[in-house]
């Protein structure tokens, strides 16, 4: 499927994009507080890596169960209304969890339930947001819009949010979760203020069902060689990423003895590396093309993972995570923009949900494999396991590298970063 692209240009901040950007950045700040605090809270409740990794695994599972449904619903409903409703519900849930933690009722079962429920709601929110963005910016500004969204989210989430978690935890275990609830509520208000025109959608055939529409999204993804290759590669990556994310806190706190401060330094290094990678994203993508840039990122990240798995000091781990984030930016911006450009306008929610669902399907297994590997062979083993999956991912990308894809790079006057979702 060939597409036409215009010159990359900056999206207008006034109007819908500015509100969406503000809501996304604010919510990312709160998410960073919660996602950094959850493994630390889990580690305070048990010293068994497999149980800690189960919290991460249950955070991925809803994408397998409900991801395709979330995309089909996102293509049917008012995406703006779906987003602010979901954020409102998430605010109530996290506030209730914060109260439970404050009252001393935290447990691993409660952590698992929270992770599962929030991700279930996220399947609708993320697919609606992906489908809504092209309605808020000009086609030629889509790459720059994705870049600026990811930049703001990474600065707020990684550079500002995660490092303050140890300070917030020092004032009370419930404080990061209470702050997250407040950001969800404010983000809901910002999205509710959007006045975007609904996207143009072809009429549904008589008798069309959600099941049939989900099938159309899967077939659209499969027929596009570039997206099919990217989806396969991302799925393989995320098996390994499930292992790495679930056990990173174990590697830092137990393997290197660096404590909560070391964990914050590790996550901050990933963010700073991603921001630096965003500064060169346009130049690299313009020279190599989108898929070749993703291929380069996968190769470089494989090397960084080997260094992580064999690191003997926190400084070495931090450096490897910075490289990992640097190259990861090339992956995220290009895959997101390609998906938005290549999917039919009325099916973007379903194509995005099919991509995400297939991509994260192995992450829960990866999280459990990571916990098992750390238990059997030590804290560094999950990073080496992840490197093996990245080798497979790069191999899967090779047949897709010559697909007919646009050579335009996203706007490069801002910085971006990647978090593997």
Tell whether the model's pLDDT for residue 65 goes beyond 90. Answer: no
Task: Calculate helix-pair angle for 290-310, 225-250, nearest 10 degrees.
Answer: 20
User: 37 vs 326, which has greater pLDDT?
Assistant: 326
User: Residue 332: inside a domain, yes or no?
Assistant: yes
User: Residue 169: inside a domain, yes or no?
Assistant: yes
Tell whether the model's pLDDT for residue 10 goes beyond 70. Answer: no
Q: Span 160-184, mean pLDDT? A: 84
Q: How many domains does the chain have?
A: 1
Out of 196-200, 244-248, 271-275, 382-386, the most confident range is 382-386
Q: Span 163-184, mean pLDDT? A: 85
| pLDDT of amino acid 321 | 95
User: Residue 4: inside a domain, yes or no?
Assistant: no
pTM: 0.71
Q: Which of 39, 31, 40 is nearest to 57 (CA)?
A: 39
Query: What confidence category does residue 200 fall into, taking pLDDT thresholds of 50, 70 and 90?
Result: low
Residue tagged 């008012």 (tokens): 78
| pLDDT of amino acid 108 | 84
211-225, 230-244, 289-303, range with the lowest pLDDT: 211-225
User: Residue 155: inside a domain, yes or no?
Assistant: yes
| pLDDT of amino acid 15 | 62
User: 61 vs 97, which has greater pLDDT?
Assistant: 97
Distance CA 149, CA 227 (A): 21
Q: Span 49-72, mean pLDDT? A: 77
| pLDDT of amino acid 419 | 33
User: Residue 217: inside a domain, yes or no?
Assistant: no
Q: Please say whether the beta carbons of 157 and 28 come within 8 A.
A: yes
User: Residue 405: inside a domain, yes or no?
Assistant: no
CATH of the domain at 62: 1.20.1250.20
| pLDDT of amino acid 364 | 79
Distance CA 88, CA 95 (A): 11
Q: Span 202-216, mean pLDDT? A: 70
Distance CA 355, CA 353 (A): 5
Domain holding 323, by residue range, is: 16-194+222-400
Tell whether the model's pLDDT for residue 9 goes beyond 80. Answer: no
Tell whether the model's pLDDT for residue 411 goes beyond 60. Answer: no
Q: How many H helices and E strands in the chain?
A: 16, 0
User: Residue 203: inside a domain, yes or no?
Assistant: no
Q: Where are the alpha helices (DSSP H) in 251-347?
A: 259-279, 281-288, 290-310, 314-342
Tell whether the model's pLDDT for residue 352 goes beyond 90. Answer: no
| pLDDT of amino acid 207 | 58
CB atoms within 10 A of CB 6: 12
Q: Please say whether the beta carbons of 163 and 260 come within 8 A.
A: no
Q: Please say whether the beta carbons of 151 and 417 come within 8 A.
A: yes
Q: Please say whether the beta carbons of 177 and 98 come within 8 A.
A: yes
**High-pLDDT (> 90) share of the chain, %:** 21
Q: Please say whether the beta carbons of 124 and 86 come within 8 A.
A: yes
Q: Which of 21, 181, 33 is nearest to 94 (CA)?
A: 181
User: pLDDT digits over 262-313, tens only?
Assistant: 887 888 888 889 888 877 887 887 788 778 888 999 999 999 999 999 998 9
| pLDDT of amino acid 203 | 54
User: Residue 7: inside a domain, yes or no?
Assistant: no
Q: Span 77-99, mean pLDDT? A: 90
Q: Mean pLDDT across the chain, nearest whole number?
A: 81
| pLDDT of amino acid 325 | 92
Q: Span 225-254, mean pLDDT? A: 88
Tell whether the model's pLDDT for residue 115 goes beyond 80. Answer: yes
Out of 27-36, 185-194, 219-228, 300-309, the most confident range is 300-309
Distance CA 280, CA 333 (A): 12
């Amino acid at each position: 499927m060939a597409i036409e692209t215009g010159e990359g240009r900056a999206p207008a901040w006034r109007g819908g994009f500015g509100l969406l950007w503000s809501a996304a950045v604010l919510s990312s700040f709160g998410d960073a507080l919660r996602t950094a605090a959850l493994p630390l809270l889990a580690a305070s409740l048990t010293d068994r890596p497999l149980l800690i990794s189960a919290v991460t695994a249950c955070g991925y599972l809803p994408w397998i169960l409900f991801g395709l449904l979330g995309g089909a619903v996102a293509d049917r409903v008012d995406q703006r209304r779906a987003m602010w409703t979901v954020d409102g519900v998430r605010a109530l849930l996290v506030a209730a969890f914060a109260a439970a933690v404050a009252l001393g009722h935290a447990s691993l079962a409660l952590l698992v339930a929270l992770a599962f429920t929030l991700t279930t709601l996220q399947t609708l929110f993320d697919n609606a947001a992906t489908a809504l963005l092209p309605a808020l910016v000009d086609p030629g500004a889509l790459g720059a819009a994705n870049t600026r969204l990811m930049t703001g989210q990474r600065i707020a989430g990684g550079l500002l949010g995660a490092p303050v978690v140890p300070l917030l935890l020092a004032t009370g275990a419930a404080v990061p979760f209470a702050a997250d609830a407040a950001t969800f509520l404010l983000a809901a208000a910002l999205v509710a203020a959007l006045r975007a025109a609904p996207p143009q959608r072809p009429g549904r055939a008589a008798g069309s069902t959600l099941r049939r529409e989900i099938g159309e999204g899967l077939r659209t993804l499969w027929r596009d060689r570039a997206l099919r290759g990217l989806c396969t590669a991302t799925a393989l990556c995320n098996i390994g990423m499930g292992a790495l994310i679930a056990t990173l806190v174990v590697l830092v706190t137990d393997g290197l003895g660096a404590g909560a401060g070391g964990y914050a330094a590790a996550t901050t290094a990933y963010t700073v590396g991603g921001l630096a990678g965003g500064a060169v994203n346009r130049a690299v993508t313009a020279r190599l093309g989108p898929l070749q840039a993703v291929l380069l990122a996968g190769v470089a990240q494989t090397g960084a993972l080997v260094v992580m798995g064999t690191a003997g000091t926190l400084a070495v781990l931090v450096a490897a995570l910075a490289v990992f984030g640097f190259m990861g930016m090339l992956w995220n911006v290009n895959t997101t923009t390609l998906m938005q450009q290549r999917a039919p306008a009325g099916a973007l929610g379903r194509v995005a949900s099919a991509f995400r669902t297939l991509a994260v399907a192995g992450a829960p297994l990866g999280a459990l494999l990571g916990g098992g590997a750390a238990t059997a062979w030590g804290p560094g083993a999950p990073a080496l396991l992840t490197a093996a999956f990245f080798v497979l991912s790069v191999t899967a990308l090779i047949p897709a590298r010559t697909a007919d894809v646009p050579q335009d790079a996203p706007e490069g006057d801002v910085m971006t970063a990647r978090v593997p979702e």
